[in-house]
Amino acid sequence: MVEWDDMENADKLFNIRHSLAHLLAIAVLEKDLGAKLGIGPVIDNGFYYDFEFSNGYTPTPEDLKGFEKAMRKMVNKGLPFEGHEISVGDAKKLFASQPYKLDLINEFESEGKNLTIYKTGEFDDLCKGGHVDNTKEIPADGFTITHTAGAYWRGSEKNTMLTRIYGLAFESGEALDAHLKQMEEAKKRDHRKLGKEMELFTIIDEVGAGLPLFYPKGALLRKTIEGFISEQQEKRGYKDIWIPHITKGTLYEISGHLDKYDAMYTPMKIDEHDYYVKPMNCPHFMMLYKTLQHSYKELPVRYTCTTTNYRNEKSGELSGLTRVRSLTQDDCHVFARPDQIEKEIDLMLDMIKEVYAGFGLSDFYVRISLRDSKNKDKYIGNDEVWNTAENALRDIVKKTGWKYEEAEDEAAFYGPHR
């Protein structure tokens, strides 16, 4: 029995899920010694591991049950997890028969990163941790292997398609059972199923994946939601603008997106210039603001626009209305002085709370996207501007009393501007 009272639940659960990913790799290698290993990270509610099986084999549901049974035996054996640093040369020798591991090692070598491996029994994996100290810390009834899916190595369609095996993991069997029941209920309420049954929206092959079409009832719902949000923005001083859906590539050269943003569609040639369907709105807002003269006395200036963006999302990642290639946003941009930041963010958070309340949503949290503190060169702006903005976000969210988390390396490269 795992005691959780005196533990940091989130960290402990992360370590359990990460350790189970390694046990899954061991179970797969026991069945297919020639399998090639990809990566095995922690994800929401569990973990996955990517494999290239020998001779193109695809595991069956019976295989998944067998992997789970083998993993449970390892849990009960009390295998230790032991981590240590390793040189690039030694790592290449250790993983000589694992091409995907070698690919990662070469990347880490070029970036000057230290390498660590974790050993479990006779199995070694390239990994930065964390893990449980011993497999007996893992609740034997708290995990299950669920399903497989295809996944390109490094997410690129140019690379080999691997088999991704997913698992769920929780702090107890009771928590796992509760989640499985929740998943069953969620299937009954799947928006893709209801959208078709209620004649709200559909996705048609002849139109294209990730490009939803809305029936009259769905279009009415959209119009109602847009009107409700527009009212909230208007009473807080936001002014509507309108921007086109295509633009010259010059705009994205200026903004930096052309080199740093990889979800753009291939450009079309018009009058000897490259034109793109827009995947984001920020550069348009900035350029429109620049065309007029402004005094610091008139700040803040609040612009808003309900507009559609087009993003070249990977086919395997598309899902109903949650991941699409045509995405409509009620996008807001505020031009303000540094001393106005707190008030403006307060205004935004107040609007978010009121909009969510209109849909009966009250249990939510804030995710603060931060830059990568170890790789600042890929961002525009100096430390002073970034630190001011990030600290302001932290302080204001703390004052609200809302739950929040921080996510390093999630901030947009252009970040705050002065």
Provide the pLDDT for residue 1: 40
Sign of torsion over alpha carbons 350, 355, 361, 365: negative
Q: What is the number of residues in the chain?
A: 418
Q: Is the pLDDT score of 384 beyond 90?
A: no
Provide the pLDDT for residue 377: 77
Residue 405, C-beta contacts closer than 8 angstroms, at least 6 positions apart: 365, 366, 367, 368
Band (75; pLDDT cuts 50, 70, 90): very high
Task: Please provide the average confidence, as pLDDT, over all residues in the chain.
Answer: 91
Q: Is the pLDDT score of 317 beyond 90?
A: no
Does 208-336 carry CATH code 3.30.930.10?
yes
Give whole-number Cα distances, 95 to 39, 104, 128, 201, 341, in Å: 13, 11, 16, 49, 50
Provide the pLDDT for residue 417: 57
Q: How far apart are CA 165 and CA 40, in angstroms?
A: 9
Q: Is the pLDDT score of 418 beyond 60?
A: no
Provide the pLDDT for residue 60: 95
Q: What are phi and psi of 135, to 5 degrees?
A: -65, -20
Provide the pLDDT for residue 3: 45
**Location of structure tokens 């590539």:** 249
Answer whether 94's CB lies under 8 Å from 124's CB. yes
Q: Is the pLDDT score of 7 beyond 80?
A: no
CA-CA-CA-CA dihedral for 274, 275, 277, 282, to nearest 10? 100
Mean pLDDT lowest among 26-30, 226-230, 400-404: 400-404
Answer whether 38's CB lies under 8 Å from 162's CB. yes
Q: Is the pLDDT score of 4 beyond 60?
A: no
Q: Give the three-class secondary structure for 396.
A: helix
Q: Is the pLDDT score of 378 beyond 80?
A: no
Provide the pLDDT for residue 110: 80
Q: Is the pLDDT score of 5 beyond 60?
A: no
Provide the pLDDT for residue 259: 80
Judge if the upstream peptide bond of residue 130 is cis by omega within 30 degrees of 0: yes
Residue 39, C-beta contacts closer than 8 angstroms, at least 6 positions apart: 49, 50, 100, 104
Which sequence spans correspond to the domains of the chain? 9-188, 208-336
Question: DSSP assignment, residue 341?
Answer: H
The tokens describing 204, both together, are: 């048609």
pLDDT tens sequence across 296-309 = 999 999 999 999 99
pLDDT tens sequence across 95-149 = 999 999 999 999 988 877 779 999 999 999 999 889 999 999 999 999 999 999 9
Provide the pLDDT for residue 246: 96
Identify the CA nearest to 351 among candidates 221, 224, 220, 237: 237
pTM: 0.70
Mean pLDDT lowest among 8-12, 224-228, 370-374: 8-12
Identify the CA nearest to 142 among candidates 179, 105, 185: 179
Q: What is the mean pLDDT of residues 214-224?
A: 97
Residue type, 374: K
Q: What is the mean pLDDT of residues 60-64?
A: 96
Q: What is the mean pLDDT of residues 283-290?
A: 96
Percent of the chain topping pLDDT 90: 73
Pick the CATH number of 9-188 from 3.30.540.10, 3.30.1440.10, 3.30.300.30, 3.30.980.10: 3.30.980.10
Q: Is the pLDDT score of 413 beyond 80?
A: no
More reliable by pLDDT, 338 or 344: 344
User: Please, what is the angle between helix 9-31 and helix 61-77, to 10°?
Assistant: 120
pLDDT tens sequence across 154-195 = 988 889 999 999 999 999 999 999 999 999 999 999 999 999
Q: How far apart are CA 49 and CA 146, in angstroms?
A: 12
CA-CA-CA-CA dihedral for 21, 27, 32, 34, to nearest 10? 50
Q: 151 has which bridge partners?
A: 162
The tokens describing 341, both together, are: 């930041």
**Location of structure tokens 């990889």:** 262
Q: Is the pLDDT score of 412 beyond 90?
A: no
Give whole-number Cα distances, 143 to 120, 180, 185, 328, in Å: 19, 11, 19, 38
Identify the CA nearest to 280 among candidates 303, 302, 258: 258
pLDDT tens sequence across 144-163 = 999 999 999 998 888 999 99
Identify the CA nearest to 263 among candidates 206, 325, 199: 325
pLDDT tens sequence across 38-60 = 999 999 999 999 999 998 888 99
Q: What is the mean pLDDT of residues 411-418?
A: 70
Sign of torsion over alpha carbons 164, 168, 171, 173: negative
Q: How far apart are CA 18 and CA 209, in angstroms?
A: 33
Percent of the chain topping pLDDT 70: 97
Across 235-364, the runs of DSSP E, i.e. the strands, are 239-240, 246-248, 268-270, 273-277, 301-310, 326-335
Q: How far apart are CA 415 and CA 390, in angstroms?
A: 10
